[in-house]
Structures are given as structure tokens and as C-alpha cells.
């Protein structure tokens, strides 16, 4: 079903927001690297604390006049190495990506890994590192990015983006203590990212939202829904939710893993407003979806632009005007959303969960939930 009515902006005042972590707060993993970003944190609550998997982006510390250093993980050396190109040999697509002219292939200007951070109150950090989740395979040659953590069956599973010369894929890993990790391999091949897992099976199957990133754009940006019998083999792929307006015309994808509420599955998602011929990267904001508990393909309600770049650390940074939600925790009536700010910092914002659900339910009887979902009651 396609809806012709756009989702109206429904911004909710933040009760609290705070910049948790900046690049200078994280020591580099190697002496020849510098941290240029600490952002897009996966988040989950354990019995003792909130644990974050923070994406740490690193670039070459050394600067050479007339040259550009492109980092990559070397599996044989078990470390990041630097490939030096003259400035004439590359073309910058944006601050994050260059095109190597001789091959036409893209490289990243930084390489990412995850740092384990801990918070007792969920609003400030108590510890940063020293445990890290580093790239380890050919499919992670250009880094691991943007973990989303879901508690499932006594373990913490997290999807993450694996970047390599083969493209942008989504992989899965798990841990019981955030000290040691088990990799489970690639779930979705290139080009696919922004994969989030539901925290329980539905109808006996695991469920995930994902974002195919096609080279040919026959439609506006879309999120898809998939299911699996075992978390490793995925099928039942179908379009789930599409762009609703100007604010998400460039990209739309899952943000935080869905959480169960009395009114349905709550999904905080992201959108980007860049048009095909625009220069720059555009503005990233966040919206909210409410999904049927028994059939998450049925969308009860949607709010657009629930969270937009407002604070200085969201509007200014490595990539200006970005809020990118990647983790969520509930504490009593509070909803804590963790997000990347300006592709540089980690931040957290708080809302009252009942207020957000009430605002969503105000729209549940109107067909404003996206291009594919069916607004309905549970």
C-alpha cells in the first residue's frame, strides 16, 4: 500500500542531552594514528550498567605535503597500515571517501574499530576502553562500523558494517561479557547496512530491518524487513518502509534496535535530506515508528524529525548537521537514545517514553506511516 500523505514533523523537546565522548577522549590504537571520530555507539543495558560499543575512526597522524594517506587493516601484519597517494592520484568525494583515479575504486580516509565504554547512570561515561573490537578479516579491511546491540537468549548480539574492497556488507558478532567476542560472519552482502535485530522471535523466527543500497535508484530510499530461523540464514525479504518527505528523501534506514512497548515495537530510525544533485552530504535527522507486536510489517504510526541537529556538537564537526541514532535503553519511564553527532562525537538524549508513545498514537488512525506499511491497531 502506498500513502500519499507525508508524515508531519512531530518534534518532542528533549528532557536531557549530553555529549558523552569526543575524539580526544579516546587514545589511538597505534602510535602512527590519530582519532578523528568517536561516534555512532551501539548501546545495551546489562544488570550492572549501560555498555556502549563506540565506533572509533582513525586516520594517519603524519601529514605529508602533496600526499594523502589511506589506512587499511592488514591481516598479515595484524595492524593498520597506510597507503600513500599523491593528491593528483585521488579525487575527494567528501571528507570520508576518495576515488582512486587509476582504478575508479573508492577508499576511506579513516579506518574504524569499536571501543567498549561503560556507564552506570546511562547519562555519563565511567570508563572508556581498554577493550577493543578490531578488524580481523578480509571483509573488514577498511574497518568495522556502527554496531547495533540486541540482547538475545542470554547473549548480546551485535550487527555491524564490514567495509572492504568488496563493498559494504553487514556482519554479526556476539559476546557474553564485552571482554571476548565471537564472530558469526557476513549476514547481508554488499551493498547493505543499517541492520537491526528484534530482541525476540516473532512467530518462531528472528526478525531484522535492513537497508539495501542499490546502485540504480528506481524508487525513493527504503527499509526492508527479513526473517531467519537461526540468525545466520535470512530470507522473506520485502520492502517495509520508504521515504515520506523532504527530510528523508536521500536515505532512510533503521537506527536503534526495536524495543517492545505496551503499544508495539518502537523503532527510532534515521533519514537524510540530500537530493541526487546536491553538493555535500545533507542533514541527518531521526524519526520514530510504532510497529504491530505480532506482525512488525504493519506500521501503526510514524513521527518524522523527532530528533534534529540543534546542539553545537551536532551541527559542527567532521560531517556537520548529523544526528544518527544507534542505541536505545529504557530506564523507568525514561527513554535514552544514543547517537552519533556530526560523525565526530557520541551523545545521548532523553525523552519520557509515555510522551513519545502518546504522540505516536495520536497518528495511529491516519494513513501517514510510510509507503509500504499499513497503519492499524494492535
Residue 231 CA to its chain's centroid (Å): 19
Bridge partner residues of 285 (DSSP) = 271
pLDDT of amino acid 241: 94
How far is 36 from 55, CA to CA, in rounded Å? 11
174 confidence band (pLDDT: 50, 70, 90): very high
- Quote the mean pLDDT of the chain: 91
Answer whether residue 100 is part of any domain. Answer: no
Is pLDDT at 372 greater than 70 in this prediction?
A: no
- Rounded to an integer, what distance in angstroms lies between the CA atom of residue 231 and that of residue 207? 8
Predicted confidence at residue 214, as pLDDT, reads 75
- 158 with 166: CB under 8 angstroms? no
Q: Which pLDDT tens digit goes with each residue over 346-370?
A: 999 999 999 999 999 987 644 334 4
Average pLDDT over residues 199-213: 96
Query: Domain for residue 341, yes or no?
Result: yes
- Residue 4 forms part of a structural domain: no
Residue 86 vs residue 278, higher pLDDT: 86
**Residue 350 belongs to what domain range?**
16-32+137-361
Residue length, the chain? 378
Half-sphere exposure of residue 88, counting CA atoms within 13 Å on the CB side?
Answer: 0
pLDDT tens digit sequence for 300-321: 999 999 999 999 999 999 999 9
What does the pLDDT look like over 282-299, one tens digit per residue?
999 999 999 999 999 999
What's the pLDDT score for residue 365? 46
Q: What percent of the chain has pLDDT over 90?
A: 85
CATH number, domain at 190? 2.115.10.20
Strands 206-212 and 222-228, sheet pairing? antiparallel
| 84 found inside a domain | no
**Is the pLDDT reported for residue 2 higher than 80?**
no
9 has a pLDDT exceeding 80: no
Quick one: pLDDT at residue 185?
96
What percentage of residues in the chain have a pLDDT greater than 70? Answer: 93
**From 33-37, 255-259, 358-362, the region with the lowest mean pLDDT:** 358-362
User: 126: buried, middle or exposed (CB in 10 Å: 19+, 13-18, 0-12)?
Assistant: exposed
Is residue 94 assigned to a domain?
Answer: no
pLDDT of residue 215: 72
Q: Give the CA dihedral 126, 130, 131, 136, nearest 10 degrees.
A: 140
User: Would you state the pLDDT for residue 244?
Assistant: 86
Over 70: is that where the pLDDT of 6 sits?
Answer: no
- What is the per-residue burial (b if ≥16 Cβ within 10 Å, else e) of 196-227? bbbbeeeeeebbbbbbbbeeeeeeebbbbbbb
Place of cell 515495537: 265
Return the pLDDT at 339.
98
Q: Is a pLDDT exceeding 60 seen at residue 50?
A: yes
**Which residues, 6+ apart, have CB-to-CB distance to 34 below 8 Å?**
28, 58, 59, 60, 61
pLDDT band at 219 (very low <50, low <70, confident <90, very high): confident
Question: Is 228 domain-assigned?
Answer: yes
Better-predicted residue by pLDDT, 369 or 216: 216
Which pLDDT score is estimated for 10?
59
Over the stretch 322-333, which tens digit does the pLDDT of each residue have?
999 999 999 999
Least trusted range by pLDDT, from 5-9, 211-215, 330-334: 5-9
Decide: pTM greater than 0.85.
Answer: yes
Euclidean distance between CA atoms 39 and 53, whole angstroms:
9
Please check the confidence at residue 256 and state whether its pLDDT lies above 60. yes
343, HSE (Cβ side, Cα atoms, 13 Å)? 17
What's the total number of domains in the chain?
1
Question: Would you say 326 and 40 are in contact if contact means Cβ atoms under 8 Å apart?
Answer: yes
**Distance (Å, whole) CA 19 – CA 339:** 10
Mean pLDDT within 192-218 = 92
Residue 73 lies in a domain: no
Residue 282 falls inside a structural domain: yes
Q: Confidence class of residue 4 from pLDDT cuts 50, 70 and 90?
A: very low
Confidence at residue 3, expressed as pLDDT on a 0 to 100 scale: 33
Confirm if 288 and 304 have CB atoms less than 8 A apart.
no
Amino acid at each position: 500500500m502506498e500513502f500519499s500523505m507525508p508524515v508531519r514533523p512531530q518534534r518532542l523537546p528533549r528532557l536531557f542531552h549530553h555529549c558523552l565522548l569526543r575524539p580526544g577522549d579516546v587514545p589511538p590504537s597505534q602510535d602512527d594514528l590519530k582519532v578523528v571520530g568517536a561516534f555512532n555507539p551501539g548501546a545495551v543495558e546489562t544488570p550492572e550498567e549501560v555498555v556502549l560499543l563506540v565506533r572509533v575512526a582513525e586516520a594517519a597522524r603524519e601529514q605529508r605535503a602533496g600526499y594523502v594517506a589511506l589506512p587499511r587493516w592488514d591481516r598479515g601484519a595484524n595492524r593498520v597500515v597506510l597507503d600513500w597517494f599523491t593528491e593528483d592520484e585521488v579525487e575527494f568525494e567528501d571528507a570520508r571517501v576518495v576515488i582512486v583515479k587509476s582504478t575508479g575504486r573508492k577508499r576511506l580516509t579513516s579506518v574504524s574499530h569499536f571501543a567498549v565504554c561503560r556507564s552506570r547512570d546511562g547519562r555519563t561515561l565511567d570508563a572508556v576502553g581498554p577493550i577493543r573490537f578490531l578488524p580481523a578479516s578480509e571483509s573488514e579491511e577498511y574497518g568495522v562500523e556502527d554496531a547495533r546491540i540486541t540482547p538475545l537468549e542470554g547473549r548480546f548480539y551485535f550487527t555491524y558494517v564490514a567495509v572492504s574492497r568488496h563493498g559494504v556488507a553487514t556482519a554479526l558478532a556476539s559476546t557474553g561479557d564485552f571482554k571476548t567476542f565471537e564472530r558469526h560472519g557476513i549476514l547481508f552482502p554488499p551493498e547493505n547496512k543499517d541492520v537491526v535485530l528484534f530482541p525476540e522471535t516473532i512467530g518462531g523466527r528472528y526478525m531484522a530491518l535492513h537497508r539495501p543500497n542499490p546502485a540504480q535508484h528506481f524508487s525513493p530510499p527504503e527499509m526492508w524487513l527479513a526473517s531467519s530461523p537461526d540468525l545466520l540464514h535470512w530470507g522473506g525479504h520485502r520492502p517495509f518502509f520508504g521515504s515520506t518527505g523532504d527530510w528523508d528523501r536521500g536515505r532512510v534506514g533503521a537506527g536503534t534496535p526495536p524495543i517492545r512497548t505496551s503499544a508495539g515495537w518502537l523503532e527510532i530510525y534515521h533519514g537524510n535530506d540530500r537530493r541526487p544533485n546536491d553538493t555535500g552530504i545533507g542533514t541527518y535527522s531521526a524519526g520514530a515508528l510504532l510497529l504491530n507486536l505480532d506482525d512488525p510489517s504493519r506500521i501503526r504510526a510514524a513521527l518524522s524529525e523527532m530528533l534534529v541537529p540543534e546542539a553545537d556538537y551536532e551541527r559542527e564537526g567532521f560531517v556537520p548537521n548529523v544526528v544518527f541514532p544507534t542505541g536505545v535503553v529504557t530506564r523507568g519511564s525514561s527513554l535514552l537514545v544514543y547517537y552519533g553527532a556530526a560523525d565526530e562525537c557520541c551523545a545521548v538524549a532523553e525523552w519520557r517514553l509515555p510522551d513519545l508513545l502518546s504522540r505516536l498514537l495520536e497518528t495511529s488512525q491516519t494513513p501517514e506511516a510510510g509507503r509500504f506499511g499499513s497503519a492499524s491497531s494492535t
